[in-house]
Amino acid sequence: MQFKMIHNNLNVFDLKKSLAFYEEAFGLKEHHRIDAPDGSFIIVYLCDELGQHLLELTWLRDRKEKYNLGDNEFHLAFETADYAAAFQKHSEMGVVCFENTAMGIYFVSDPDGYWLEVLPANR
């Protein structure tokens, strides 16, 4: 039996802000969305140019406070062929939250505080 990983989910507090962040920071575009008939939730699936894995952002209308991410020990990772340009862009955006120069990686924080790892392609 084979399985294919198709998406990861992140619950977001401000959908508009998150959509803008993921597009600016990583070039992710909306693939499709699900709007609850009663307006209680919106699920937006984002993808990169390859579209092989989706990021699902879930917004809940009745959520009144930001999400508690605990120790924030989980993360998503993105690789890039132009690591230096990516680091400069994310630094200019003010979203770099941790740099590990020994490993050659860094992390950015999205509007909800989720950490996203950035690493060079062909490591």
43 and 5 in a single domain? The answer is: yes
What are 50's two structure tokens? 């390859």
Please check whether residues 79 and 112 belong to one and the same domain: yes
Range of the domain at 46: 1-62
Looking at 38, 62, 86, the residue that finishes a domain is 62
Q: Is residue 18 part of a domain?
A: yes
pLDDT tens digit sequence for 14-34: 999 999 999 999 999 999 999
pLDDT the model gives residue 95 = 98
Q: Let me know: does 111 contact 16? Beta carbons within 8 Å.
A: no
Alpha-carbon span 24 to 44, nearest angstrom: 16
- Residue 111 is predicted with a pLDDT of 97
Which pTM does this prediction carry?
0.93
The answer to whether residue 41 is domain-embedded is yes
pLDDT of residue 99: 97
Q: Could you give the number of structural domains in the chain? A: 2
Is 87 within 8 Å of 106 (Cβ atoms)? yes
Same domain, 4 and 42: yes
CA–CA gap between residue 45 and residue 54 (Å, rounded): 6
